Amino acid sequence: MSKKNEHDGLDLRGTLISVLAVGIIIIVMWVAVYMMYVAR
């Protein structure tokens, strides 16, 4: 690990995909409740 830019050179592809999956869960849950709201 280079000291200057602590993070460059780290392979974090798995992290990116994981957080994006978290994002998708958030969006899906939100949209589901939003649709329930609209339907009521």
Cα 23 to Cα 15: distance, rounded to the nearest angstrom: 12
Does residue 2 bind another protein (CB under 8 A)?
Answer: no
Triad 27, 22, 10: Cα angle to 5°: 140
Does residue 37 bind another protein (CB under 8 A)?
Answer: yes
Cα 12 to Cα 23: distance, rounded to the nearest angstrom: 17
Q: How far is the CB of 9 from another protein (least distance, A)?
A: 10
Binding-site size for another protein (CB under 8 A) equals 28
- Reported as type and span, the H/E element at residue 14 is helix 13-39
Q: How far is the CB of 39 from another protein (least distance, A)?
A: 10
Query: Which positions lie near another protein, rule CB under 8 A?
Result: 3, 5-8, 10-20, 22-23, 25-27, 29-30, 33-34, 36-37, 40
